């Protein structure tokens, strides 16, 4: 139905998709940082200690990066960790939903937002055509608005397999980007 909700820059929410859904049900589409956490509190989604989201492996890696920062992502360098999780679902009534959740890229600067919460870039669903959830180098995915590109290319009842491949090839060709995509067409 083109309903959409997203959060970015949250530090104390365990299940961010639940919070994004509540944003979708609100008059807004995107809430960030402190505002998103205030909203979470208002709608009864528990705030946790940020330390609960840290793993020993990632703390160790972050400490290594302090003295030896990783290169910026590029077509040649893909960071070793990608924790993006995505899904697209189509129910028996033809309703399509997509969700994307991520911790972002390794060693990202404070305030950096990738593609995942950007509607049309990292996630998109339209009952008329299909739904998409993207993963990969967020800045490149955002530049080409990848999820909407892929969903739009399903028009004319196109098969999602070549449409998804074309979308990833376009990402590489237009901006030297790298990524992957889940793409589902309508019933």
Nearer residue to ligand GLY within complex by CB, 53 or 158: 53
Alpha helices (runs of H) in the chain, residue ranges in sequence order: 16-24, 33-42, 56-67, 138-143, 146-152, 160-175
Binding site for ligand GLY (CB under 6 A): 84, 102, 104-105, 114-116, 135-136, 138
Q: Do the beta carbons of residue 138 and residue 114 sit within 8 Å?
A: yes
Give least dist CB 136 to ligand GLY, A: 6
Nearest Cα neighbor of 98 from 87, 85, 108 is: 87
Nearest Cα neighbor of 36 from 17, 9, 15, 18 is: 9
Strand order in the sheet with 130-136: 123-126, 130-136, 179-185
CA 139 to each of CA 17, 28, 61, 135, 171: distance values in angstroms, whole numbers, following the listed order? 21, 23, 22, 11, 11
Q: Give the active site residues.
A: 84
Give least dist CB 44 to ligand GLY, A: 27
Nearer residue to ligand GLY within complex by CB, 99 or 104: 104
Nearer residue to ligand GLY within complex by CB, 140 or 153: 140
H or E element in which residue 182 lies: strand 179-185
Give least dist CB 135 to ligand GLY, A: 6
Nearer residue to ligand GLY within complex by CB, 71 or 156: 71
List of residues 6+ apart from 58 with CB closer than 8 A: 81
Give least dist CB 20 to ligand GLY, A: 15
């Amino acid at each position: 139905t083109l309903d959409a909700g997203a959060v970015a820059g949250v530090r104390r929410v365990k299940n961010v998709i639940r919070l994004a859904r509540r944003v979708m049900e609100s008059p807004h589409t995107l809430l960030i940082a402190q505002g998103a956490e205030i909203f979470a509190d208002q709608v009864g989604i528990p705030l946790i200690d940020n330390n609960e989201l840290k793993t020993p492996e990632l703390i160790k890696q972050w400490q290594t990066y302090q003295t030896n920062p990783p290169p910026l992502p590029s077509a040649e360098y893909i960071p070793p960790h990608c924790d993006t999780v995505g899904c697209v679902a189509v129910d028996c009534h033809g309703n399509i939903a997509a969700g994307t959740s991520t911790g972002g890229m390794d060693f990202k600067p404070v305030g950096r937002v990738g593609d995942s919460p950007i509607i049309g870039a990292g996630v998109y669903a339209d009952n008329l055509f299909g739904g998409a959830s993207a993963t990969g180098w967020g800045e490149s995915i955002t530049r080409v608005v990848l999820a909407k590109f892929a969903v739009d290319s399903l028009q004319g009842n196109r098969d999602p397999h070549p449409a998804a491949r074309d979308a990833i090839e376009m990402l590489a060709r237009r901006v030297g980007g790298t990524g992957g995509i889940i793409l589902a067409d309508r019933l």
